[in-house]
Amino acid sequence: MEKIGKQTIKFTNLPTIVDTASIVGPKEAEGPLAKYFDKCLEDEFWGEKSWEKAESKILKETVYSVIKKSTLPISSIDYCFAGDLLNQCISSSFGLRDSNIPFIGIFGACSTFVEGLGLGSIFIDGNAANNVICAASSHFCSAEKQFRFPLELGNQRPQSSQWTVTGAGAAILSSSGTGPFITHFTPGRIIDMGIKDANNMGAAMAPAALDTLITHLTDTGRKPSYYDAIITGDLGHVGKEILIELAKTKGYNIKSNYNDCGVLIFDKNKQDTHAGGSGCACCGTVFSGYLFNMLQSKKYKKILLIATGALMNSTSTQQGESIPGIAHAVSIEI
Amino acid sequence: MQPIETTKKYQEYVDKKSPNSPILKNCFNAFWVGGLICTIGQIIMQICKARGLDEATSGTIVSIILIALSAFLTSLNIFNKIGKFAGAGSLVPITGFANSIVAPSIEYKSEGYVMGVGSKMFTIAGPVLVFGISSSIIVGIFYLIFNAQGIILS
Amino acid sequence: MSNIDWSTVFEWSTLLKCFIVGGLICVIGQILIDKTKLTSARILVTFVTAGVILGGLGIYKYLVDFAGAGATVPLTGFGYNLAKGAIEGVKTSGFLGAFTGGIKNAAGGIAAAIFFGYIASLIAKPKMKKQ
């Protein structure tokens, strides 16, 4: 592997995505992508006593499910990169504490899934691993409890607010296989354009997505049309519109092949999710379910997956800080 | 459109791009739901008075009944649906205060009854008591200074 | 209950005044929510404090006389009640009354909310929001 341009890593021994798995909650199961997910839960507790325990179970079962689908023995998994949104990433660590897989906990807010894919690819290309798992989870109820208000509170969600996806996505990367391959990884810079409204994450993260998109295209010398699809993680309806317009001002027309996981996962009109989906699982499940299916069936041959994250917590919001955004991109080709 | 370079311009642009709340519809719903809750309170009040209770006792009974009703609807997961529909219509009456105490009590049950229910109960309603009670003490002291010079400090 | 005169309970002009004033106070709250992006905790604090100040200045009393529960059921009424209690406390027991009067007047509401909150936590389980 080598660094090209300003901040892009180009892989030489291309890591293959062997298989993916996804588990989603009931609300996601009512959405337009339901048929692509491996398992749809009937209730958000999944037999557990708390939202946090439920989220851990979702992550754990997703990881076990991807191992099973890949038919690799569990002992051949060298490392697991996983992360989530709960304080100190307890969903991932508690979910995987009995797995015996060496665990590398990562945090990139909602960009965690792609951060994992990128880091896993570096391990594989650098011969530090043969097989790694990358996983990420989020849960609407645990996220509301931690970041916003108790679920029983009778408040109105603003129109720009997004709905945290309940679920988990996991992918196994391997040094040998027939594709799809991860060809490039562009880790993003932290970009803060001063947005303070925690109910408008799409607007807070769109400038970071723009920065990573342009840097990736400049570093690789590609045009947006090189990709069959450019997909962002969870900008939602508001952030998607903003990114299209911002990209246009910089001379990039992405309107025809660009979409967002948060826009794809819910039906805005039927499901009353306002500005669309968000959370680590938004990008994680849409990639592991829908996009991986599109790559396997060769409907998409080249995609650029840009996961976006808002690097804030409830304390920083209360202290009046603005919301720094980040976006990591991986280029995936068959 | 010109490229946006400053945070100020970006904020202005975002404000323009972000969808607005349907304020007329929200106000209409808040009006009739809020009015209805108050009217239920008034009917309870009139019944109490008709039974010979004084103004202050009747008022307390109204508060307790509305709070109990709100707690009941919150437990049944119905209050948040009313709240989503009515907004301030169910928040501003005493039902909203009750909901803001009951909701975290239920939510933080998983952290135990002392540090979960007992302490998180006031995450939203605590400030109401802090500012309400503190400002009422200030009002009392002001009254003492300006209007009641004849009263001896006890 | 047979000795209640239901025509005074359902006196329409009183109920109409109550409905309109109570509704309008809520509309003020709704405009604050939609226009200022204040969280619900801040809205509640604003209303209680406004009620205490208007109560202390003697203005809110006129609204209570006019609209009854339309003015006392909203949280501004809770604030009014605190202020009224503090003033009455000062009248009866001087300086100490400023501290005891307010809560004494609002005790029923506060105690009920805490008690029912605790009971609810015993019987209810957190549930998913559907919308």
Q: Which residues of B touch C127 (CB under 8 A)?
A: 77
Q: Which residues of B touch A245 (CB under 8 A)?
A: 1, 17
SS3 B22: coil
CA distance A82 to A55: 13
DSSP H helices, chain A, are: 26-29, 51-70, 90-95, 112-125, 140-147, 201-220, 236-249, 261-265, 268-271, 280-286, 292-296, 314-318
CA distance B92 to C77: 10
Nearest CB to C128: which of A44, A158, A197? Answer: A44
CB contact under 8 A, B84 and A157: yes
CB contact under 8 A, B66 and C123: no
Q: What is the mean pLDDT of the segment spanning C84-99?
A: 94
When pLDDT is cut at 50, 70 and 90, the band that residue B2 belongs to is confident
Which residues make beta-bridge pairs with A131? A174
Please check whether residues A10 and A146 belong to one and the same domain.
Answer: yes
Which CA distances in Å does A134 have to A108, A174, A324?
13, 11, 24
| Helix A201-220 with B7-17: angle, nearest 10 deg | 120
**What would the pLDDT profile of B74-90 be if each residue is shown by its tens digit?**
999 999 999 999 999 99
Tell me: pLDDT of A298 over 70.
Answer: yes
When pLDDT is cut at 50, 70 and 90, the band that residue C10 belongs to is confident
The domain in which residue A159 lies consists of 2-174
Tell me: pLDDT of A130 over 90.
Answer: yes
Supply angle C-alpha B121, B124, B130, rounded to 5. 95
CB contact under 8 A, C113 and B62: no
| Smallest Cα distance from B82 to chain C, Å | 11
Please check whether residues A264 and A195 belong to one and the same domain.
Answer: yes
CA distance B106 to B116: 9
Tell me: pLDDT of B137 over 90.
Answer: yes
Please check whether residues A84 and A205 belong to one and the same domain.
Answer: no
Please check whether residues A33 and A138 belong to one and the same domain.
Answer: yes
| Smallest Cα distance from B127 to chain C, Å | 6
Q: What is the mean pLDDT of the segment spanning A252-267?
A: 96
Mean pLDDT of all residues in chain B?
92
Please check whether residues A214 and A158 belong to one and the same domain.
Answer: no
Tell me: pLDDT of C37 over 90.
Answer: no
Q: What is the mean pLDDT of the segment spanning C88-97?
A: 92
Tell me: pLDDT of C114 over 50.
Answer: yes
Q: Which residues of C touch B117 (CB under 8 A)?
A: 117-118, 121
Cβ of residue B10 closer than 8 Å to a chain C Cβ: no
When pLDDT is cut at 50, 70 and 90, the band that residue C11 belongs to is confident
pLDDT score recorded for residue C9:
81
Please check whether residues A168 and A198 belong to one and the same domain.
Answer: no
Please check whether residues A147 and A204 belong to one and the same domain.
Answer: no
The CATH code of the domain that includes A164 is 3.40.47.40
Which CA distances in Å does A149 have to A73, A111, A228?
42, 23, 40
Chain A stretch 269-328, residues whose beta carbon is closer than 8 A to a beta carbon of chain C = 272
Q: Are A170 and A19 within 8 A, CB to CB?
A: no
Tell me: pLDDT of A136 over 70.
Answer: yes
When pLDDT is cut at 50, 70 and 90, the band that residue B152 belongs to is very low
Q: What is the mean pLDDT of the segment spanning A146-159?
A: 91
pLDDT score recorded for residue B154:
35
Q: From the CB of residue A50, how many other CB atoms can be counted at a distance below 10 Å?
A: 16
The pair of structure tokens assigned to A140 is: 């609407």
Cβ of residue C60 closer than 8 Å to a chain B Cβ: no
Chain B stretch 40-79, residues whose beta carbon is closer than 8 A to a beta carbon of chain C = 41-47, 50-51, 56, 59-64, 66-68, 71-72, 74-77
Q: What is the mean pLDDT of the segment spanning C68-73?
A: 96
Given A113, A139, A174, the domain boundary residue is A174
Supply angle C-alpha A307, A309, A314, rounded to 5. 160
**Scanning every residue of chain B, which has its alpha carbon at the shortest distance from the alpha carbon of A204?**
B14
Q: Are A173 and A19 within 8 A, CB to CB?
A: no
CB contact under 8 A, A152 and B11: no
Tell me: pLDDT of B151 over 60.
Answer: no
Chain A stretch 22-41, residues whose beta carbon is closer than 8 A to a beta carbon of chain C = 26-27
Which CA distances in Å does B119 have to B122, B136, C44, C64?
6, 24, 19, 34
pTM for the model stands at 0.94
pLDDT score recorded for residue C128:
81
CB contact under 8 A, A152 and C126: yes
Residues 6+ apart with CB under 8 A from A239: A201, A202, A203, A205, A206, A209, A232, A260, A262, A275, A308
pLDDT score recorded for residue A304:
97
Please check whether residues A269 and A318 belong to one and the same domain.
Answer: yes
Please check whether residues A14 and A39 belong to one and the same domain.
Answer: yes
Indicate the length of chain A as a whole number.
334
Domain locations along chain C: 7-123
The pair of structure tokens assigned to A188 is: 């993003």
When pLDDT is cut at 50, 70 and 90, the band that residue B147 belongs to is confident
Tell me: pLDDT of A257 over 60.
Answer: yes
pLDDT score recorded for residue B153:
41
Which CA distances in Å does B36 have to A104, A174, A301, B22?
56, 63, 59, 21
Q: Which residues of C touch B154 (CB under 8 A)?
A: 93-96
pLDDT score recorded for residue A215:
97
pLDDT score recorded for residue C2:
55
**Scanning every residue of chain B, which has its alpha carbon at the shortest distance from the alpha carbon of A48?**
B110
Please check whether residues A187 and A120 belong to one and the same domain.
Answer: no
Nearest CB to C70: which of B42, B66, B113? Answer: B42
More confident residue, C8 or A308: A308
Please check whether residues A84 and A55 belong to one and the same domain.
Answer: yes
